[in-house]
Amino acid sequence: MTAALITYNVRSTALAVSTWSIPLIRYNTGMAGNTGVQFAHLTFLQFYISPLVKMVSPAVKRVIVKKRRATFKRHQSDRYKSVKESWRKPKGIDNRVRRRFKGQAPMPKIGYGSARATRHLLPNGFRKFVVSNVRELELLLMHNRSYAAEIAHGVSSQNRIAIVERAAQLNVKVTNANARLRSQE
């Protein structure tokens, strides 16, 4: 049985699909006969996806219901330039917003919240889990159907490659798998 070979051209963001038989990740420099990460910059990233290993999907795909989003503006932010729009709870003893008079600005309350089952869910059905190294990624081994890994912003390109390779072995979805995989020139 053959696997799908997906070639991603880093410079032109072109995508080509062919067949291959080894389920692993290979980095191609674009030069004939030379593969690996030994050159200054990468031209192609090739991901081998085995047909035997199915791409991970969420255990239960729930419909995320978005309520009407209320915008909570600070009281009298429309009246004074020095009072910014970002929400602050009114604290005055005579404040009509705090006392919830009819026709006043709405205040945040628990009823505006999302359903607990779909809170913090990504549109693909997973919850996000930020990882900084391979050891943190292995926490998701038993939870790969409910959590997706997201590589932290400060992780180097070299560690990102190691995390993406290990995630492919553990069948863990990585939300930002393509970020900064090209080596620096």
54, 19 in Cβ contact below 8 A?
A: no
Residue 183 has a pLDDT of 53
44, 181 in Cβ contact below 8 A?
A: no
Domain ranges in the chain are 1-53, 114-185
Q: What is the pTM of this model?
A: 0.60
Q: Which of 106, 166, 109, 175 is nearest to 141 (CA)?
A: 166
Q: Exposed/middle/buried for 176, CB within 10 Å: 0-12, 13-18, 19+? A: middle
| pLDDT (tens place) for every residue of the chain, 185 residues total | 444 444 444 444 444 444 333 334 444 444 444 444 443 343 444 444 444 446 788 888 888 887 777 899 999 999 999 999 999 999 999 999 999 999 999 999 998 888 899 999 999 999 999 999 999 999 999 999 999 999 999 999 999 999 999 999 999 999 999 988 765 54
Residue 35 has a pLDDT of 45
Residue 29 has a pLDDT of 44
Residue 102 has a pLDDT of 97
Residue 54 has a pLDDT of 63
Q: Which of 1, 18, 23 is nearest to 165 (CA)?
A: 23
